[in-house]
Amino acid sequence: MKFKPLLIVLGEPYSIFSEILFKFYKKESKKIKFPIIVIGSKEILQKQMIKLKYSLPLNEIDENNINLRNLNNNKINIINVNFKFNKVFDKITSKSSSYIYKSFEIAIKILKKKRAIGLINGPISKFHLFKKKFPGVTEYLAKKNNVKNNVTMLIYNKNFSVSPITTHIPLKNVSKLITKKKIIANVNRINHFYISKLKKKPVIAILGLNPHCETTSIYSEEKKIIEPSIKYLKKKKVNISGPFSADTFFFRKNIIKFDVAIGMYHDQVLTPIKTLYNFDAINITIGLSYIRISPDHGTNNKMIGKNKSNANSLICCINFFKKLYENKT
């Protein structure tokens, strides 16, 4: 294969991700031209495969000697990371933390050498893995990529996408962290991403913070921060409008007019997009030196081992890379 590989970090071993991965390989993997390399425990993947009654061949490869000629997607190409476990499926604890960090470190090393086209990561438990070090994987990868505070979360669907200005923080802290600088930087990153990667100039909506974009207090985030940000961006020829009230914005007659809606906090925009598109949305980190995507679901520990999880979000992640890179040939 002449394409650089796509890396997939398995993440938390006690999640639904292995099941979703097996479903992808069973039905979709042969449609993908570029090779895929999974990074994680070969042993637990094999045990979970048996438990879930899948039969897929594995091809262990050396992280320091990746030979593209020997890679194809008829097998699960895997860089093995040792993980000691007692049960095939278990409750999530901090015992998997060093294993997950090691998996990410291998991926980051390969990406820094520009030997892969990008990264997909399976879900992790933020509480057990990061504790209070990082709010989430987005911020962890930003620190490792030396672009702390310069990344944007985009929840992407081909029809309509959303982005929160603040991400994994308590609601009580949101208003303190909304600034003109942050809004302008996030909008510019999204605008550039659409133009450079998706070959279209996006139509962007921005939401207010307060109910109906109003407040009875003297200080209004809409008047002091959001509206001046929109005014500045319009002068820079960004196709943006707002602020819109979040309670009525997500009617279908409204969202068909826009490519992206930017909200002030996580659940303001992630709740409606998941309601609209279920598993047909993916989490893209914009601002890294590579493209990182994750399926838009968590570990879902209660569902592990049941073989009932939907693989669409992972398939959408891989198909996004397919759209970006296979069209180049």
Q: Give the whole-angstrom CA distance, residue 140 versus residue 125.
A: 13
- Measured in whole angstroms, how far is the alpha carbon of residue 9 from the centre of its chain? 12
Burial readout 201-226 (b: 16 or more C-beta within 10 A, e: otherwise): ebebbbbbbbeebeeeeeebbbeebb
CB-based contacts of 126: which residues, under 8 Å, 6+ apart?
134, 135, 136, 137, 168
Identify whether residues 168 and 105 lie together within a single domain: no
Range of the domain at 8: 1-150+287-329
**Rounded to two decimals, what is the model's pTM?**
0.89
- Cα angle, residue 145 at apex, residues 102 and 65 outer, rounded to 5°: 50
**Is there a single domain that holds both residue 165 and residue 181?**
yes
Give the pLDDT band of residue 205 (cuts 50, 70, 90): very high
Please, which residues have CB within 8 angstroms of residue 222's CB and are 6 or more apart in sequence? 208, 209, 210, 213, 214, 215, 243
Indicate the number of domains in the chain: 2
Does residue 304 sit in the same domain as residue 322? yes
Find, among 209, 189, 14, the residue nearest to 92 by Cα. Answer: 14
Do 140 and 224 reside in the same domain of the chain? no
Q: Are residues 293 and 242 in the same domain?
A: no
* Class of residue 108 by CB neighbours under 10 A (exposed 0-12, middle 13-18, buried 19+): middle
At residue 2 the predicted structure's pLDDT band, cuts being 50, 70 and 90, is low
> What is the residue-averaged pLDDT of the chain?
90
Q: Are 76 and 38 in contact (CB under 8 A)?
A: yes
CATH number at residue 232: 3.40.718.10
Average pLDDT score over residue span 271-284: 90
Residues 75 and 136 both lie in one domain: yes
User: What are the pLDDT digits (tens) for 69-118?
Assistant: 778 888 999 999 999 988 888 888 888 899 999 999 999 999 999 999 99
Same domain, 304 and 241: no
pLDDT digits (tens, 9 = 90+) for 238-258: 999 999 999 999 999 999 999
What does residue 118 show for φ and ψ, rounded to 5 degrees?
170, -175
**DSSP codes, 296-314:** S----GGGTTSS----HHH
Same structural domain for residues 111 and 180? Answer: no
Same domain? 135 vs 106: yes
Using DSSP bridges, classify how beta strands 282-286 and 152-156 pair: parallel, antiparallel or unpaired: antiparallel
Calpha distance 289→291 (Å, rounded): 7
Sheet containing strand 161-164, strands side by side: 58-60, 76-80, 36-40, 6-9, 118-121, 291-295, 282-286, 152-156, 161-164, 260-263, 204-207, 240-244
Are both 99 and 183 inside the same structural domain?
Answer: no
